[in-house]
Amino acid sequence: MVMVCIYCGGKTNVANSRHQKKSNQVWRRRHCVSCQGTFTTIEQADLPLSLLYKKDLSHVEPFSRDKLFLSLYNSLKHRQTALSDASSLTATVIGKLLLTVKAASVDRSTIIQTATETLKHFDKAASVTYSAYHSL
């Protein structure tokens, strides 16, 4: 599939491209052949379509970044920067999870362990709170 210009719908060429390691994204500067417009795209995997969450042996559903974000945010509410911290930590946890994924699915215990370890390095109180609500 070819990326088309957001301004005129014409063909585009990639002028610059950079892999974003922390967010597992690709940043691209594109240039339109027709109208000479320039714009930026960010490409990333569509997790709900690409990754499954296994709560137990009988319950499988699409992975939800938002659910992970909310669980981390609830553990960080005591911080003044809870919103931005939860957003950054969500990206970190997802990046770590993607390194362990097998057969396009991740189980509940792996998510809890990864989130707890990540929180432990960032904020021990948040780690304890998260562990209290998410038992293995």
pLDDT digits (tens, 9 = 90+) for 83-100: 999 999 998 998 888 888
DSSP class of 111: H
pLDDT at 59 over 90: no
Q: What is the pLDDT of residue 95?
A: 85
Q: What is the mean pLDDT of residues 54-77?
A: 90
C-alpha separations of 93 from 35, 71, 134 in Å: 41, 12, 15
**How far is the C-alpha of 99 from the C-alpha of 130, rounded, in Å?**
22
pLDDT at 11 over 90: yes
